[in-house]
Structure 1
């Protein structure tokens, strides 16, 4: 490929946050910044390995950017980094991970590592961790009753259980892979967002 480091695009209308993320990651990644959704679509191309994407932006929402990227066939990892509280609608979204702001440098690095430096059978592993991320964020934000009323949540949970069993049989170090995933702190800070 000729590139020595993976390329990460940070998309956030809050310039200070986008610039801080870019500065924190520039030691390990080639970084680009877009301060809005429309600008992101101009910057993101086939050479991008991952996108850190805010959901709430004035010109074009992160949800719209994500949908457009997937419609264009972009298969880069998309990690939602946002203060927007998740709802059951995230089950239909094509992102790879969901982090609630504020996000520290270590969490960004470890999340990117997992998605940009893939292991064997990466597509299925990415799908698995994407499912886990969606389930975990919904379990943290919604009541058990709300989750039990959602057929889609139950279907997604069932799919995650099936994949757990399949991947456990296929990947030698599967348990340590899951342990690494679970050690990534996705919880929001104590800023009372």
Structure 2
């Protein structure tokens, strides 16, 4: 794994070659980029040298959900950002991704999300978990009605965990003021 953003390796995974190539092209000046055209190719390539995986969720050979599960089962410490046209639902609560962006994603949002994950990797697990749960919470709040959210035990659990983590990290989060601002500005819904 790389210690600097410029040397970071980003693996773009999408079964649509054109889509993967466009994302890789957008990122090649900021990071070392590689592409994998499907889940099987992603699993053959991903290892500890990959800093961030941009992972499509719906692929015909092996789904992004299964690729994500396998990456975590292998205990590979790469950061995983789901980039997908699949609108988030409550199933994301238990998914071990680090961020989730809805297609289409513009270059500035993509770079901000990757930089955020690279920064989080350099800090402790609590910050990474905070970014993960706040991402899930923001996604579900954007997709579900207030009544549906109120009726969900999972949402209450996420909100409680956000507050616990925030309390534990007040000092650490002060270092992340600009990253937290960038995180909130990342477009999470298609235009």
User: TM-score, with normalisation over the residues of structure 1?
Assistant: 0.91
1:102–1:153 distance in 2 versus 1, CA, 3 Å = same
- Aligned counterpart, 2:79: 77
Question: 1:32-76: per-residue Cα shift (whole Å, max 9, x none)?
Answer: 111111110001111110000010111111000000100010111
Q: Would you say the 8 A contact 1:168–1:175 is kept in 2?
A: no
Q: Conserved in 2, the CA contact under 8 Å of 1:52 and 1:80?
A: yes
Query: 2: CA distance between counterparts of 1:40 and 1:120?
Result: 24
Instruction: Give the counterpart of 1:121 among 120, 123, 137.
Output: 123
Pick the aligned partner of 1:132 from 119, 131, 134.
Answer: 134
CA contact (8 A) 1:13 1:36 kept: yes
Alpha-carbon RMSD across the aligned residues, in angstroms, is: 1.8
Written as runs of structure 1 = structure 2, the 5 A alignment for 1:18-167 is 18-118=20-120, 121-167=123-169
Give the CA deviation at 1:150.
Answer: 1.6
Q: How far 1:173 moved relative to its partner?
A: 3.3
1:14 aligns with 16
1:10–1:84 distance in 2 versus 1, CA, 3 Å: same
Q: Secondary structure at the match of 1:153?
A: helix
Structure 1: unaligned runs, 5 residues or longer? none
Deviation at 1:15, TM superposition (A): 1.1
**Greater shift in the superposed pair: 58-67 or 121-130:** 121-130
CA contact (8 A) 2:88 2:143 kept: yes
Q: Secondary structure at the match of 1:98?
A: strand
Q: What's the offset of the Cα at 1:13?
A: 0.9
Unaligned runs of 5+ in 2: none
SS in 2 for 1:32: strand
Distance 2:157 2:80 in 1: 23
Counterpart secondary structure, 1:185: coil
